[in-house]
A = this chain, B = another copy of it.
């Protein structure tokens, strides 16, 4: 019973969320790489149905803090989907180690931390305080591939 409550995939459902389709491996790079007990991810975009779902820069009119946070949450879910595809179950994640978040930022936008809370808070909700807390960097990047609103790298520790 306790095990079920602690299952991150159950928790994702309880939060009314779901894992998107795992990103397909492309030619020369791959979504995840395991070295020892660490799993590194590629920079992850907020993809939905094979498209970037959040575009443009923070600081532009249509991209409120809430929209930026939703983009971060979707990037987290894409990352977790890739991890599940690789290791079979999210319950094999021991801890979230590091989140490096690049927020596409218009000139003068300095609320990257609030935006990236969308990612950090979701990880803590899904994995709990002890496993979910992580180090992170929130950065305001000039441009991102496909004009994505955010790109996030993750390091996970595996059991």
Contacts and interface: CB of A to CB of B under 8 A. Distances in A.
Contacts of A35: 37-38, 95, 97, 157
A137 interface: yes
A138 B132 CA distance: 26
A20 interface: no
A155 B145 CA distance: 22
Q: Interface size bucket, A side?
A: 35 or more
| Complex copy number for this chain | 3
Given A105-B142, A138-B43, A143-B108, A28 B132 contact: yes
Given A139-B102, A145-B112, A133 B42 contact: no
Nearest to A110: B147
Contacts of A102: 137, 139
Given A29-B99, A141-B142, A145-B112, A136 B105 contact: no
Interface in A31-50: 31-33, 35-38, 40-43
Given A27-B121, A33-B97, 6 more contacts: A27-B120, A28-B117, A29-B120, A29-B133, A36-B36, A40-B98
9 contacts: A28-B121, A28-B133, A29-B99, A35-B38, A35-B95, A40-B135, A110-B143, A140-B141, A140-B143
